[in-house]
Amino acid sequence: MKPTTTHRERLVCGVDDSPAAANVLAVATQLAEVLGLRLTLVHSPHPDVFLTGTHRRAALDRGRALLDRLAPDVPAADRIIEIGDPAELLHAVLEDSAELAVVGSRGHGAAVAALRGSVSRALARSAPCPLIVIPPHARLNAAAGATVVCGVDGSVEATAALEAGGALARALGGRLTAVYVRSSTGAAAVPASWAADRWQVPVEDGRAALAIVERAVAGLSADVPKGVCVESGDPAERLARVARAQPSAILAVGSRGQGAVRAALLGSVSSRLGATAASPVMIMPRTARQPDLAARRRERSGDAARPPAARRRRLRSGRGASHPRERAPQAS
CA 21 to chain centre: 15
CATH 3.40.50.2300 fits domain 136-289: no
Side chain identity, residue 314: R
* Residues 189/202, Cβ–Cβ less than 8 Å: yes
pLDDT digits (tens, 9 = 90+) for 166-199: 999 999 999 999 999 987 654 434 444 433 333 3
* Burial classification of residue 286, based on how many CB atoms lie within 10 Å of its CB (0-12 exposed, 13-18 middle, 19 or more buried): middle
User: Closest Cα partner for 180 from 163, 172, 188, 192?
Assistant: 192
Q: What residues does each domain of the chain span?
A: 1-99+296-332, 136-289
pLDDT of 261: 42
What fold, for 1-99+296-332?
Answer: Rossmann fold (3.40.50)
Q: What angle do CA 17, 21, 25 make, to 5 degrees?
A: 135
Q: What is the DSSP letter of 268?
A: -
pLDDT digits (tens, 9 = 90+) for 249-276: 999 999 865 444 444 433 488 889 999 9
pLDDT of 256: 67
- Beta-carbon contacts of 319 under 8 Å, excluding residues fewer than 6 positions away, are none
pLDDT of 97: 73
* Distance of alpha carbon 52 from alpha carbon 38, whole angstroms: 32
Q: What Cα–Cα distance (Å) separates residue 270 from each residue in 17, 38, 42, 188, 296?
A: 24, 26, 23, 19, 27
* Residues 142/132, Cβ–Cβ less than 8 Å: no
pLDDT of 301: 39
- Identical fold for domains 1-99+296-332 and 136-289, yes or no, is yes
pLDDT of 7: 52
* Distance of alpha carbon 270 from alpha carbon 285, whole angstroms: 10
Q: pLDDT-based confidence at 206, cuts 50/70/90? A: confident
Q: Compute the average pLDDT of residues 20-40.
A: 96
Instruction: Tell me the three state secondary structure of residue 305.
Output: coil
* Distance of alpha carbon 190 from alpha carbon 185, whole angstroms: 12
Average pLDDT over the chain reads: 80
Q: Compute the average pLDDT of residues 12-21.
A: 96
Q: Compute the average pLDDT of residues 150-162.
A: 92
75 has pLDDT over 80: yes
Share of the chain above pLDDT 90, in %: 60
Q: What is the DSSP letter of 297?
A: -
* Burial classification of residue 254, based on how many CB atoms lie within 10 Å of its CB (0-12 exposed, 13-18 middle, 19 or more buried): buried
pLDDT digits (tens, 9 = 90+) for 86-145: 999 999 999 987 999 999 987 554 333 433 348 998 999 899 999 999 999 999 999 888
pLDDT of 322: 32
Instruction: Tell me the three state secondary structure of residue 190.
Output: coil
